[in-house]
Amino acid sequence: MNLLRHIPFLRAVFLYSITAFGGPQGHLGMMFKTFVNKRRDVTEAELMEYNSFCQMLPGASSTQTLTLIGYKRGGVLLAVFTLIIWLLPACILMGAFSFLLTVYPSNNLTTGLLKFIEPMAIGFLIYAAVKTFSISIKNFITQMIMLFSMIICFFLFKSPWIFPL
């Protein structure tokens, strides 16, 4: 396999890996933007099938979905490189943060630096929900079931697990 022809794909995976956060639902919206709309590595239907399949499997569905896109594009070797490129930025960043916590005492760290992460994650989730809704829900009765479920969740369950605001 000629890996040089896959460098633009691996570059897109790297850029995606350093900007993607918000959990699997947020990742799905960013995958639509990056790998369906911008790069056209997979179609909307394929990405939804991959995501559905990976939700069934144990483990991190975003990682599995991205690795499956790499496998579809270039086989096992590209899937392994895709996995490594997806994991390395997060591992390096978390490792660096773990050393920073030992260097600086906890009373000197301010939470003001992190106050915008939660609204950004919620924005990613809303974008992914709207994008997924427009792709996967095609008929009127399914739309009504979804809207009815959303209203029930909003009024009956006032829990931060449902609405992290």
**How buried is residue 117: exposed, middle or buried, by Cβ count under 10 Å (0-12/13-18/19+)?**
exposed
Does 119 map to a domain? yes
Does 161 map to a domain? no
pLDDT the model gives residue 85: 94
Does 141 map to a domain? yes
Domain count, the chain: 1
- Structural domain boundaries enclosing 109: 3-156
For residue range 22-68, list pLDDT tens digits in order: 677 778 888 888 899 899 989 988 998 988 888 888 888 889 999 99
Mean pLDDT across the chain, nearest whole number? 82
Does 165 map to a domain? no
